Structure 1
């Protein structure tokens, strides 16, 4: 994969019930999720913007702004505008209109 699939450019919500063996599963925001106290997510934008949607203290989500760039085949490097937030590399294992499966890897040096 030398570029990201078109299906990735949307807001994805964490479907933590489906996580297995270090693989994080996301579903489109329209997905009929089971009830949960709160769900985080991620969002890729075609212009290179990345948003990490995190659950705040009142269970409302807040966006943490960042940027993505292709690191290599199937890998995307994500850096954040907050200097205290570490960069990460996301390995894209599956992406289609129904599901996004990723594995987070340590930032390569």
Structure 2
């Protein structure tokens, strides 16, 4: 991983304006985002292994879905959700810093 697992801890919102063809950029939730008509997806990594994905809800407000995360090899992060909340996902961290998290699409 291009950062220690502790570097992921925090709440990150999708800064889709900065995405590349093969990467998705996330910024801390307190980042000064420009106004947007699109709901920003979010990822929260907690130090205790809890993961919260903010998904667009039916009324366009973010809807939190909670699971668990763990760091794997090669920049991979595995996320599991309870039954009925979604299939497990694997995220690949390209880079991370205090103010920018970049994931492979």
- TM bucket (normalised to shorter chain) is 0.7 to 0.9
Matched, 1:13 2:13: yes
Decide whether aligned partners of structure 1 residues 35 and 97 sit closer, same or farther in structure 2, where only a CA change above 3 A counts. Answer: same
Runs of 4+ in 1 over 6 A off after TM superposition: none
What is the CA-CA distance between 1:3 and the residue it aligns to? 4.6
What is the CA-CA distance between 1:35 and the residue it aligns to? 0.8
Q: Structure 1 unaligned segments of length 5 or more: list them.
A: 105-109
Matches of 2:44 and 2:14 in 1, distance apart? 11
Q: Structure 2 unaligned segments of length 5 or more: list them.
A: none
What is the CA-CA distance between 1:84 and the residue it aligns to? 5.3
Matches of 1:3 and 1:48 in 2, distance apart? 14
Number of matched residues? 103
Q: For 1:32-76, what per-residue CA distance to the aligned partner results, in whole angstroms no more than 9, with x for missing partners?
A: 111112211100011111111012122211101111112213111
Q: How does 1:70-85 map to 2 (within 5 A)?
A: 70-83=71-84, 85=86
Structure with more contact order per residue of length (Cα contacts < 8 Å, sep ≥ 6): 2
Matches of 1:100 and 1:3 in 2, distance apart? 12
